[in-house]
C-alpha cells in the first residue's frame, strides 16, 4: 500500500527565512481548560460584516446556541460557548486594540448542550450545497488566523473553476503547536473534514501540506487517509504556511498580484478548519472552542489548551500557572505575524491560534538605524517585493511612489524585518503605507 | 561685404518664413494671464485651494472655475493683483488659523502601552488607536509638524503641537493629515475654543483626563449668543456666532474651554459717543459691569473691563455705542487704549 | 564603417560632451531631477544637434567658404540653431504640453547650449566630411542624453538619501556629477 503511492513533488517558493522553531509545547497533549466564569463573545471575529445579536440581557443560553446571526453574505453567526445567562451586549476590549461590541454570558457551570444540536440523518448523502449550509450555520471561519468565513471561500464564482484543495498543516510560525497537536490527536477529523470540504467544492485532488518538523503528524495523517487525500511533507521554511507560498510549493502555480488562490483554481483551508467542519457535519457541533498554544519564556507552564471562544486571556494565562516575573510582551499569534496586546481582558476569538508571552530579553527593543541598502529584505521577500524602497518612500510621506513598489501585495509575513540588520520596522511601514493609500483613495473618491 | 549682408539677410528671411509657417501648423492657444497669475501665487503648492498646485490653480482662475478666495496662503496685495488682472471682484474673508482641540498634557492622560515603532501619528494610530488612554487624544508624534508646508507647527516638549499664528495660512494640510482629527480651522480673532475632541460620556472622560469636556452643558446655558453647541457629549464653539466674551471659559468645570485673548495683538472694546441719553440699557445688559453712568447722564465704558462682546452696542437704540479695535498690549490700570482700527461693528 | 563606429564611441563615451568636455552643463543640472523629463530633453537635443550640424556644415561648405565670409560663422550658426530650437519648442508644445511644462525655461535655453554650438564648430575644426559631421553630431547628442538620463536616475535615488543639510540640493548634485565624470574617465584610451 505504502510502496504503491508515488511521492508528491514539492517546489520551492522564493525568499523566506529560517527562524528558530522553539516548539516548546510540541510534545504536550492538549488539555481541556476549566470553564471560565464569564465569556465575552465579540460580534466581529471574522473578516466581513459583524454578526447581529439575537439575544438580549437576561436571556438564558445553552452551549452551542446562536447568539448573533450573520450580518451579510461575507459574515458568520456566533454561538454561545458555555451555558448561562446573557448579562448584556457591551463594548469590550478586542484583540484588534479597541473596544468592540461583545455578548457577555455568565456561566451557570452546567455547560448544558443545546438540544437542537444533532447530527444530520445521512452524512454520506449530503450534497455540496448542504455541506456549505452546515458550515455557514456552524459559524466556521478560517482557523489559521485570517478568520475568513469558510462557506464564502467554498463558494467561488462560476468563472473561477477549482481543481485542487490544499489542507494547510504547515504551522510555520515559531512557538505555535496547536495544529500539530490536532493532527496528532485527531487525524481522522482532519482527513474527514478534508473529504467533506472536497465534496463541498466538487474537487477530487486533495493534498495536506505539513512541514517536515512534524513527521509524527505526517505519519498519523497518512494512517488516517486513503489514496484520495495525499499527505505531503514540506521543507521547514517560513512562511511555508502562507497561502500563496503553499500553493507555489505544492502545485507550482503563482497567484497573480492582487489576486486570490481561486484565480489559479485552488482553495486552501487550515487543518483546524477541516476538523471543525468534520465536527459540524458529523455531530452538528458549531464552532465554540479551539486549541490554543500558550507558550514562551514568559509563562510558567506552557500548554496546548482547548479553550472556549470568549474566554478572557487572563483566565487562560491563570490556567497555565500565571505570568513569569520578567514577562514583557503578550502576543496573540506567533512572533512573526502576531499582534501585541496591552489589555489581558481581551477574549480568545476564533482566529486565536496561540498566546506568546515574551520576557525582557526575548522582546528586546532594538533601535532602528539608517538603511544600508544591503538588500537582505529583497532577498528574503516571499512575494518578490523591494521593502527598502516602499519603506523609505513611506517614511518621506510619498505614498504614491510607495504604491508603485507594489506594497499592496505585501502579505506582512515579517521576513524582511526579521533579516534587516538595521532593525527597521519594515512591516509597520508596509501596514502604514497600505492604510494611507487606502485612505487617500477613499478621500479622492469622495 | 555685399555677400555677407546678402547671406545674413537671406538666411534670416528663410528662417523667418519657415518659423512663420511652422507657427501656423503647430498653433497652440495659450492665455498669457495664466503665467502672470502663477507668478503672483505663493508657489507653495500646498493644495488648500483644492487643485494640484499653484500652476493648476492659476489655470483654474483664468478659466473661471477657480475662485481667488480658495487660496488661503496668498496675501491681500497678491489677491487684489489677481483680481485686477481678471477684472473680477475679490472679497476678503477673515484670516483663519489651525487650532489643536486637545490638552492631554494638562489633563494627565497616561499611555496604555509602550508604543515602539515609526514616529508618526498616522502609523501609531493603526496600533490600537494609539498609545494614549483617551481614544480621541492627540498622539503627539509630530505628523502635523512634519507635513506643514509653511513650517508653522512645532511640537512642545511633552507632545502637543504649537501653532505659530504668523506662519499659519490655514491651508488645511494638518487638518487633513491628523489621524485623530483634533485640529480645526478657526478665525484668528476667535480666541476661545473647547480644547477637547472626546465624544465619550463625562465619567469615561474624567477617568482618563482631568481637563476634558465632560458634556455638562454649563457653557451652552451661559452663552448669551447661542454660540455653543453640544453634540455627542462634546461642546464646540460656533465661531461665526461667538463674540469672545469669555463667559463659557469661566463656567467650564474642567477648564476644557480655553481663552487666548491675551495672546492676540489687538482686541475690540466698546466706546460710547455723545448721542448717549443715559437710558442705562447698555449698563444693565453688560455681562461684566464695564459701563458706568447715572441715569439720564453720559455713560462711559471702562476699557480695562470691557471684553468687546458688543451686547451694549446691540442694546443701544440711539446708535451711541460703537466697537473699535485697540492694541492689546497695555496693562489694565492705564488710561484709554490706543485706538488701532476704525469704528463700526 | 568601422571608422564611423569609432566616431560614435568616441563621442558618446570617451569624449562625452557633458562629462569629459564639460559642455551643456546648464540643462544637465537643470533638467535631471526626473528621468522622464531627462529623456524628453535628450530627444529634443538629438533632433536639434543633428539637424544643426547638418545645416551648419552645408552652410559653411557652400556659402561661407566660397564667399569668403568665414568670420560670420558664429552669427550664422547661432541663427540656425535658434530657429531650430524655436521649431522644436512649437512642436513639443503642441504634441506634449506636459513635457513642455516640465522642461520649462530649459527648452529655449538649448539655443545657448554650448554643446550644440560646440558640435557645429568642432565639425569645422576637425575638418569632418559630410557624413562624419552628421554621425559625430548624432553621437554627441546620444552622449549628452546618456549623461543626462544617468544623472537623473542617480538624483532620483539621491532624493531618498539622508544628505546633510549643508549639502542638500545643488551641492550634492555637483559632487555627484564630478564623481560621474571621474567614472567616465575610465573610458579614456578606448579610442585613439
**Any long-range contacts for C23-28 (C-beta under 8 Å, 24+ apart)?**
C23/C113, C23/C114, C23/C115, C23/C118, C24/C113, C24/C114, C24/C115, C24/C116, C24/C118, C24/C144, C26/C106, C26/C109, C26/C112, C26/C113, C27/C106, C27/C109, C27/C110, C27/C113, C27/C148, C28/C144, C28/C147, C28/C148, C28/C151, C28/C177
* A183-216 per-position pLDDT tens digit: 999 999 999 999 999 999 999 999 999 999 999 9
* C62-101 per-position pLDDT tens digit: 999 998 888 999 999 999 999 988 888 888 888 888 888 7
C-alpha cell at A16: 523566506
Q: Which part of chain A is CATH 3.40.50.11540?
A: 123-283
C8–chain A nearest CA distance, Å: 36
User: Is B11 an 8 Å CB contact of chain C?
Assistant: yes
Give the lowest-confidence range in A18-22, A162-166, B69-73, C94-98.
B69-73
Partner-chain contact A392 C160, CB within 8 Å: yes
pLDDT beyond 80 at B55: no
**Chain C 30-69, CB below 8 Å of chain B: which residues?**
59, 63-64, 67-69
Give the lowest-confidence range in B40-49, B144-153, B232-241, C107-116.
B40-49
Contact A162, A267 (CB under 8 A): yes
* B66-101 per-position pLDDT tens digit: 778 778 778 778 888 888 888 877 777 777 889 999
Cβ pairs bridging A and B (under 8 Å): 34
In chain C, residues with a C-beta closer than 8 Å to the C-beta of A373 are: none
Partner-chain contact B129 A429, CB within 8 Å: no
Q: Indicate the residue of B112, B123, B128 with minimum beta-carbon distance to A432.
A: B123
C35–chain B nearest CA distance, Å: 21
Partner-chain contact C67 B11, CB within 8 Å: no
Burial of B93 per CB tally in 10 Å (0-12, 13-18, 19+): exposed
C-alpha cell at B24: 501656423
Assign B338 a pLDDT band (cuts: 50, 70, 90).
very low
Contact A104, A38 (CB under 8 A): yes
As for the ipTM of the complex, it is 0.88
Q: Count of residues for chain C? A: 192
- Continuous H helices in A138-291: 150-153, 178-185, 187-201, 215-224, 243-251, 271-283
Q: What is the mean pLDDT of residues B148-152?
A: 92
User: Is B2 an 8 Å CB contact of chain C?
Assistant: no
Burial of C148 per CB tally in 10 Å (0-12, 13-18, 19+): buried
* A68-106 per-position pLDDT tens digit: 999 988 999 999 999 999 999 999 999 998 899 999 999
- Nearest Cα neighbor of A333 from A294, A365, A380 is A294
Partner-chain contact A397 B147, CB within 8 Å: yes
In chain C, residues with a C-beta closer than 8 Å to the C-beta of B56 are: none
Q: Measured between alpha carbons, how far is B229 from B238 in angstroms, rounded to an integer?
A: 7
**CATH fold group of domain A123-283:** Rossmann fold (3.40.50)
In chain A, residues with a C-beta closer than 8 Å to the C-beta of B176 are: 443
CA dihedral for A82, A88, A89, A93, sign (positive or negative): negative
* C120-160 per-position pLDDT tens digit: 999 999 999 999 999 999 999 999 999 999 999 999 999 89
pLDDT beyond 60 at B134: yes
A393–chain C nearest CA distance, Å: 7
User: Is B35 an 8 Å CB contact of chain C?
Assistant: no
Partner-chain contact A392 C162, CB within 8 Å: no
Q: Indicate the residue of C76, C94, C101 with minimum beta-carbon distance to B11.
A: C76
Phi and psi torsions of A42, nearest 5°:
-65, 145
Q: Indicate the residue of B118, B146, B176 with minimum beta-carbon distance to A429.
A: B118
CB proximity list for A390: less than 8 A, separation 6 or greater: A402, A405, A406, A407, A429, A430, A433
> Looking at chain B, which residue has its C-alpha nearest residue A392?
B118
- What pTM value is reported for the model? 0.86
pLDDT beyond 80 at C50: yes
Look at residue C192 in the predicted model and tell me its pLDDT: 66
Share of chain B above pLDDT 90, in %: 37
In chain C, residues with a C-beta closer than 8 Å to the C-beta of A396 are: 160
Assign A150 a pLDDT band (cuts: 50, 70, 90).
very high
Q: Measured between alpha carbons, how far is B202 from B232 in angstroms, rounded to an integer?
A: 11
* A114-144 per-position pLDDT tens digit: 988 888 888 888 999 999 999 999 999 999 9
Share of chain B above pLDDT 70, in %: 94
Q: Could you please report the per-residue DSSP string of A56-75?
A: -TT-EE-BT-EEEE--SSS-
Amino acid at each position: 500500500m505504502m510502496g504503491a503511492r508515488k511521492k508528491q513533488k514539492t517546489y520551492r517558493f522564493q525568499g523566506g527565512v529560517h527562524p528558530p522553531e522553539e516548539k516548546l509545547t510540541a510534545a504536550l497533549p492538549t488539555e481541556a481548560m476549566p470553564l471560565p466564569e464569564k465569556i465575552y463573545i465579540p460580534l466581529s471575529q471574522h473578516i466581513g460584516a459583524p454578526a447581529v445579536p439575537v439575544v438580549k440581557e437576561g436571556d438564558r443560553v445553552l452551549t452551542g446556541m446562536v447568539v448573533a446571526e450573520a450580518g451579510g453574505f461575507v459574515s458568520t453567526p456566533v454561538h454561545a460557548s458555555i451555558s448561562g445567562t446573557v448579562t448584556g451586549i457591551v463594548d469590550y476590549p478586542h484583540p484588534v486594540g479597541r473596544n468592540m461590541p461583545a455578548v457577555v454570558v455568565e456561566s451557570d457551570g452546567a455547560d448544558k448542550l443545546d438540544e437542537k444540536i444533532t447530527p444530520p440523518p445521512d452524512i454520506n448523502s449530503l450534497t455540496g450545497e448542504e455541506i456549505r449550509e452546515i458550515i455557514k450555520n456552524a459559524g466556521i471561519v478560517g482557523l489559521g488566523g485570517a478568520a475568513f468565513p469558510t462557506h464564502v471561500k467554498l463558494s467561488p464564482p462560476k468563472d473561477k473553476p477549482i481543481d485542487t484543495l490544499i489542507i494547510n498543516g504547515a504551522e510555520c510560525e515559531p512557538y505555535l503547536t496547536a495544529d500539530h497537536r490536532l493532527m496528532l490527536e485527531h487525524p481522522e477529523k482532519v482527513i474527514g473534514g478534508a473529504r467533506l470540504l472536497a465534496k463541498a467544492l466538487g474537487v477530487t485532488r486533495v493534498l495536506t501540506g505539513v512541514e517536515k518538523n512534524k513527521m509524527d503528524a505526517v505519519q498519523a495523517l497518512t494512517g488516517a487517509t486513503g489514496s484520495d487525500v495525499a499527505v505531503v511533507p514540506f521543507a521547514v521554511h517560513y512562511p511555508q504556511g502562507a497561502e500563496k507560498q503553499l500553493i507555489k510549493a505544492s502545485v507550482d502555480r503563482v497567484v497573480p498580484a492582487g489576486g486570490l488562490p481561486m484565480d489559479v483554481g485552488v482553495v486552501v483551508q487550515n487543518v483546524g478548519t477541516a476538523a471543525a467542519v468534520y465536527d459540524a457535519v458529523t455531530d452538528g457541533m458549531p464552532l465554540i472552542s479551539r486549541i490554543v498554544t500558550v507558550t514562551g519564556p514568559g509563562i510558567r507552564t506552557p500548554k496546548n489548551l482547548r479553550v472556549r471562544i470568549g474566554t478572557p486571556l487572563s483566565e487562560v494565562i491563570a490556567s497555565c500557572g500565571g505570568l513569569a516575573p520578567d514577562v514583557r510582551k503578550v502576543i496573540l499569534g506567533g512572533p512573526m505575524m502576531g499582534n501585541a496586546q496591552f489589555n489581558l481582558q481581551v477574549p480568545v476569538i476564533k482566529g486565536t491560534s496561540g498566546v506568546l508571552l515574551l520576557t525582557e530579553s526575548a522582546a528586546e527593543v532594538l533601535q532602528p538605524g539608517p538603511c544600508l541598502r544591503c538588500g537582505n529584505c529583497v532577498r528574503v521577500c516571499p512575494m518578490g517585493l523591494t521593502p527598502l524602497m516602499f519603506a523609505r518612500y513611506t517614511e518621506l510621506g510619498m505614498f504614491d511612489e510607495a504604491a508603485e513598489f507594489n506594497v499592496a501585495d505585501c502579505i506582512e509575513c515579517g521576513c524582511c524585518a526579521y533579516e534587516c540588520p538595521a532593525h527597521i520596522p519594515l512591516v509597520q511601514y508596509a501596514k502604514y503605507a497600505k492604510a494611507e493609500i487606502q485612505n487617500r483613495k477613499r478621500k479622492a473618491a469622495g | 561685404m555685399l555677400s555677407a549682408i546678402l547671406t545674413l539677410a537671406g538666411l534670416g528671411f528663410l528662417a523667418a518664413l519657415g518659423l512663420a509657417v511652422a507657427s501656423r501648423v503647430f498653433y497652440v492657444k495659450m492665455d498669457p494671464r495664466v503665467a502672470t497669475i502663477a507668478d503672483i501665487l505663493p508657489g507653495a503648492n500646498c493644495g488648500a485651494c483644492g487643485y494640484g498646485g499653484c500652476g493648476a490653480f492659476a489655470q483654474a482662475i483664468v478659466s473661471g472655475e477657480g475662485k481667488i478666495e480658495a487660496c488661503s496662503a496668498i496675501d491681500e496685495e497678491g489677491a487684489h493683483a489677481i483680481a485686477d488682472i481678471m477684472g473680477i471682484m475679490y472679497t476678503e474673508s477673515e484670516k483663519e488659523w489651525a487650532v489643536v482641540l486637545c490638552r492631554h498634557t494638562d489633563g494627565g492622560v497616561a499611555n496604555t502601552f509602550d508604543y515602539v515603532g515609526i514616529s508618526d501619528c498616522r502609523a501609531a494610530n493603526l496600533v490600537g488607536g494609539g498609545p494614549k488612554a483617551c481614544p480621541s487624544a492627540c498622539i503627539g508624534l509630530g505628523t502635523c509638524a512634519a507635513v506643514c508646508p509653511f513650517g508653522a507647527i512645532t511640537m512642545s516638549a511633552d507632545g502637543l503641537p504649537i501653532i505659530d499664528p504668523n506662519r499659519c495660512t490655514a491651508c488645511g494640510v494638518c487638518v487633513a493629515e491628523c489621524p485623530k482629527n483634533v485640529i480645526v480651522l478657526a478665525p484668528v480673532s476667535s480666541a476661545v475654543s473647547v480644547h477637547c475632541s472626546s465624544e465619550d460620556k463625562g465619567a469615561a472622560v474624567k477617568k482618563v483626563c482631568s481637563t476634558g469636556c465632560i458634556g455638562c452643558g454649563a457653557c451652552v446655558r451661559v452663552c448669551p449668543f447661542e454660540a455653543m453647541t453640544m453634540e455627542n457629549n462634546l461642546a464646540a464653539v460656533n465661531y461665526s456666532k461667538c463674540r469672545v466674551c469669555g463667559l463659557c471659559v469661566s463656567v467650564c468645570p474642567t477648564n476644557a474651554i480655553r481663552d487666548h485673548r491675551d495672546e492676540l495683538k489687538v482686541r475690540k472694546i466698546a466706546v460710547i459717543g455723545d448721542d448717549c441719553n443715559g437710558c442705562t440699557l447698555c449698563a444693565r445688559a453688560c455681562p461684566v459691569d464695564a459701563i458706568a453712568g447715572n441715569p439720564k447722564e453720559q455713560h462711559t465704558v471702562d476699557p480695562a473691563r470691557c471684553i468687546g462682546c458688543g451686547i451694549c452696542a446691540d442694546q443701544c437704540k440711539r446708535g451711541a455705542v460703537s466697537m473699535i479695535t485697540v492694541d492689546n498690549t497695555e496693562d489694565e490700570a492705564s488710561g484709554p487704549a490706543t485706538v488701532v482700527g476704525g469704528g463700526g461693528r | 564603417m568601422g571608422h564611423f563606429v569609432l566616431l560614435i564611441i568616441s563621442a558618446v563615451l570617451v569624449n562625452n560632451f557633458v562629462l569629459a568636455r564639460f559642455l551643456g552643463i546648464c540643462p544637465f543640472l537643470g533638467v535631471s531631477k526626473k528621468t522622464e523629463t531627462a529623456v524628453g530633453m535628450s530627444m529634443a537635443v538629438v533632433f536639434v544637434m543633428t539637424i544643426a550640424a547638418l545645416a551648419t556644415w552645408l552652410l559653411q561648405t557652400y556659402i561661407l567658404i566660397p564667399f569668403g565670409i568665414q568670420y560670420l560663422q558664429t552669427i550664422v550658426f547661432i541663427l540656425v540653431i535658434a530657429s531650430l530650437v524655436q521649431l522644436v519648442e512649437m512642436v513639443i508644445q503642441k504634441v506634449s504640453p506636459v513635457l513642455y511644462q516640465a522642461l520649462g525655461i530649459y527648452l529655449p535655453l538649448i539655443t545657448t547650449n554650448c554643446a550644440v554650438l560646440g558640435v557645429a564648430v568642432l565639425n569645422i575644426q576637425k575638418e569632418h566630411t559630410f557624413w562624419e559631421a552628421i554621425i559625430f553630431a548624432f553621437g554627441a547628442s546620444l552622449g549628452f542624453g546618456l549623461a543626462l538620463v544617468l544623472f537623473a536616475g542617480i538624483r532620483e535615488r539621491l532624493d531618498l538619501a539622508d544628505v546633510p543639510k549643508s549639502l542638500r540640493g545643488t551641492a550634492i548634485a555637483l559632487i555627484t556629477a564630478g564623481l560621474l565624470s571621474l567614472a567616465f574617465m575610465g573610458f579614456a584610451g578606448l579610442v585613439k
